[in-house]
Structure formats: structure tokens, C-alpha cells
Amino acid sequence: MLLLVAIAVGVAQLIGIAARAGRAAREQTSATILAAAKIEQLRSLAWAYDPGPGAPPMPRTDLSANLSVDPPGDGGPGLAASPPGTLSHSVPPYVDYLDDQGAWVGNGSTPPTGAVFIRRWAVRSLPADPSRTLVLSALVTTVAQDRARSGPWAARSGTEALLVMVVTRKGT
């Protein structure tokens, strides 16, 4: 009987470990997908050259899209440079909140009820070529992870995703 009890306790602990690992893997996968979706939204904004008849091409940049609302609209910064700290803190309009299924639930400086994920992004010019090249970053973490953090985001915890992409103006 003691042997069966010992085996049952061991199996129960393994089931608990497997359940926690499965939840962490699900959160990591969701965070990666949500970060990739934000990078794709940023990439879809105008960052190109418009050819002019008989004139040099003129840069065209979306400086009005608001990607912190669903569906995206006007009245936002578009691809304007984000202020410092947009990946560490919730700085509107460079943040939105999503539920456990990845559906948009709000934006602002604090998570609304029902938010499970926090998605923050930053837009920076590449110092070596600021007029032609942008660095786009998207960080997704959970509300629980963000509340448990003692300071600004500095390193990945395991269930967060940080994607960074470099884009250059197209056309000439």
C-alpha cells in the first residue's frame, strides 16, 4: 500500500509539472504570435518613396495610423519615433491589451478587466541611416508577469516574446 501511495504522489507531481510546462508553452506561443502580428501591422504602414515626374523621389511615411485600437484607425503616431520606455512601460498609444485568445480588449496606461497579454511596441530610426531605416520592436508579456516584475523590462522571463525587425524605405 505504501508503495502505491508513493507512486501515486510521484505521478501527481509529474502531472502538475507537465500542466505548468504546457501553460508556459501556450503563453510563449501566444506571445510570439501576437508580437509577430504587431510587427506585421507596423510593416504594413507606408514607409516608402513616391516617385515624382521629373523630380527626385519623395519620402512617404505614415504618421497618423493608430495601431492601439481595433480596428486600426487614424489619430495615432503611425511610424513616428516612439518615446523612450515604450517597451518597459505602458505608454499610450504604443500599447494594447489582449485576452487569453489574443482578442483586443483595450488600450491605455493600465490593463482593462479581462486583459491577459500586454503588447508594447517601439519605432526607432537606425542611427546609421535615420532617413531610410527603421527598427521596429514588439514585446508581448502577460499582465501577471508585468505586475510581478520589480523594475523595467530588461530580460526575457520565458513566457514573453520580443521581436525586432529592421525595415528600409522602398522604391527610388
> The domain containing residue 111 runs over which residues?
2-168
List, for residues 19-57, the tens digit of each pLDDT value: 888 888 888 899 999 999 999 999 999 999 887 777 788
pLDDT value, residue 127:
93
Instruction: Round the CA-based radius of gyration of the chain to a whole number and report it.
Output: 21
Half-sphere exposure of residue 151, counting CA atoms within 13 Å on the CB side?
A: 2
Q: Is the pLDDT of residue 172 over 60?
A: no
Q: Is the pLDDT of residue 149 over 90?
A: no
pLDDT value, residue 159:
78
Half-sphere exposure of residue 82, counting CA atoms within 13 Å on the CB side?
A: 27
Amino acid residing at 149 = R
Higher pLDDT, 167 or 153: 167
Q: Is the pLDDT of residue 164 over 90?
A: yes
Q: What is the percentage of the chain residues whose pLDDT exceeds 70?
A: 93
What total number of domains does the chain contain? 1
Query: Which 3-state string (H, E, C) describes the chain?
Result: CHHHHHHHHHHHHHHHHHHHHHHHHHHHHHHHHHHHHHHHHHHHCCEEEEEECCEEEEEEECCCEECCCCCCEECCCCCCCCCCCCCCCCCCCCEEEECCCCCEEECCCCCCCCCCEEEEEEEEECCCCCCCEEEEEEEEEEHHHHHHCCCCCCCCCCCCEEEEEEEECECC
What integer is the mean pLDDT of 90-114? 96
Question: Is the pTM here over 0.75, yes or no?
Answer: yes
pLDDT value, residue 52:
73
Q: What is the percentage of the chain residues whose pLDDT exceeds 90?
A: 62
